[in-house]
Amino acid sequence: MITIMRSVVGAAAVVFSLVASIAVAQFSLPLRGRIESVDNQTLLVKARDGTMMNVKLTDDVQVFTLKNASLADIKPDVLVGIAAKHQMDGSQKAVEIYILAGERMHEPWGREANSSVLGDDEILIYIEGTVLANGDQTVTIKYKESENKITALANVRVVMLVPATATDVKAGEYFFAPNGKKVSVGMLASTIIVGNDSADFAM
């Protein structure tokens, strides 16, 4: 996968961006922010840049929430996404590990499976792949034909994507729509991820 470097400075959270306009543009754009209000299938979302965006959920919208997990839940053949820091010795140390919901998410999340993202005043890498081994404070994952060993200390944050429904979406939650479509009234979203901790939206 191609590594994508983000050179923006001073951001307080990790994730993705967007600005909407154009009446019917048939391409995908991610939107992240915080939900201000919920009106049936329509959300009012405050994007990271302060823009207020109307988001219409499709009738068959896929909704995921996040729940706490542990290193013990990271087993061989499980699909994970890992946000990690480069260390002075050339190794990589996990900041947060995401256990994905049974299928590869890098396409709908709009991330390359091996890419760089912006954290709290630092560049992190995001790697997604299938777990080969987990032990001795190291998680080994495979993506494409490569393997990567990532240091995972006992206190690393681990969360799991859990399927939910549109009725679980509440005002005040953090929000990510990986594949929204621009429409005249804002955005149409068929997949969203919601949660209560902005730090969990690090991909």
Listed by start position, the domains of the chain span 24-66+161-200, 72-158
Q: Is the pTM of this model over 0.75?
A: no
- Residue 73: per-residue pLDDT: 94
- Residue 59: per-residue pLDDT: 92
- Residue 31: per-residue pLDDT: 82
Question: What are the per-10-residue average pLDDT scores of the chain (203 residues)?
Answer: 32 29 44 91 90 93 90 93 87 89 48 47 73 94 86 92 91 86 88 82 56
Residue 47 and residue 31 in contact, taking contact as beta carbons nearer than 8 Å: yes
- Residue 30: per-residue pLDDT: 75
- Burial letters 71-80, b for 16+ CB under 10 A, else e: beebeeeebb
Please state the φ and ψ torsions of residue 103, each to the nearest 5 degrees. -145, 155
- CA gap 55, 132 in Å, rounded: 38
DSSP 17: -
Question: What is the residue type of 114?
Answer: N
Which of 154, 174, 193 minimizes the C-alpha distance to 62? 193
- Residue 44: per-residue pLDDT: 96
Domain spanning 24-66+161-200: CATH 2.40.50.140: yes
- CA gap 128, 108 in Å, rounded: 13
